[in-house]
């Protein structure tokens, strides 16, 4: 009687999120107080997990004619530049305390679609956003709620 051994070759390695803690943490910033608190929380998380912090600003895109000639692109570029400056200053203040690897990314579109695109392209393991400060979002749903409902990443909402 011969022994029959089944041999299974291991399946090719697949990318699996979250197996050893997050490696890429995406945080959405728009200059609001809650988004800046989210960035502070996410940077602490990135430090503890030795993860890359991807700071994402989504520049709004208005329909043609909606701005009635106002230089909206220039305004949002200035906001992005201000955010980069703010983040750099914050990083410099804590430079001696701990090191956080971080990158700044700008996407265009509505905040939800921009963050989804960023999280997909950057292979995010986690997404951190600030709670919405707009009253209307309690009715129609905030970006945070929509990200949670997408069910594609763990989402942390910082008040």
Helical residues (DSSP H) of 4-156, grouped into ranges: 33-49, 72-93, 111-121, 137-140, 143-150
The pLDDT score that the predictor gives to residue 132 is 78
The pLDDT score that the predictor gives to residue 15 is 47
Contact between residue 118 and residue 146 where contact means Cβ atoms under 8 Å apart: no
Q: What is the pLDDT of residues 24-41, one digit of tens each?
A: 999 998 878 888 889 889
Low-confidence stretches of the chain (pLDDT beneath 50): 2-15, 18, 65, 137, 139-140
If we measure between CA atoms, which residue out of 137, 112, 141 comes closest to residue 127?
112
Q: What is the pLDDT of residues 121-138, one digit of tens each?
A: 999 999 999 887 765 545
Q: Please give the C-alpha separations between residue 68 and each of 29, 72, 133, 147, in angstroms, as whole numbers.
A: 26, 10, 26, 32
Question: Does pTM top 0.75 for this prediction?
Answer: no
Domain 24-137: what homologous superfamily? HUPs (3.40.50.620)
Q: Where are the domains of the chain?
A: 24-137
The pLDDT score that the predictor gives to residue 52 is 92
- Check residue 11 and give left, alpha or beta (phi > 0: left; psi -120 to 50: alpha): beta
């Amino acid at each position: 009687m011969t022994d029959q051994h089944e041999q299974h070759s291991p399946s090719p390695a697949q990318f699996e999120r979250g197996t050893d803690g997050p490696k890429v943490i995406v945080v959405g910033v728009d200059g609001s107080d809650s988004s800046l608190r989210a960035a502070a929380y996410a940077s602490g998380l990135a430090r503890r997990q030795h993860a890359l912090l991807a700071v994402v600003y989504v520049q709004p895109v208005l329909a043609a004619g909606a701005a009635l000639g106002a230089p909206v692109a220039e305004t949002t570029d200035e906001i992005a530049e201000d955010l980069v400056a703010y983040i750099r200053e914050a990083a410099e203040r804590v430079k001696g305390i701990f090191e956080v690897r971080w990158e700044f990314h700008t996407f265009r579109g509505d905040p939800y679609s921009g963050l989804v695109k960023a999280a997909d392209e950057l292979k995010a393991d986690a997404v951190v956003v600030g709670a919405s400060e707009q009253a209307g979002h309690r009715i129609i749903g905030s970006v945070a709620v929509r990200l949670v409902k997408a069910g594609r990443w763990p989402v942390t909402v910082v008040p």
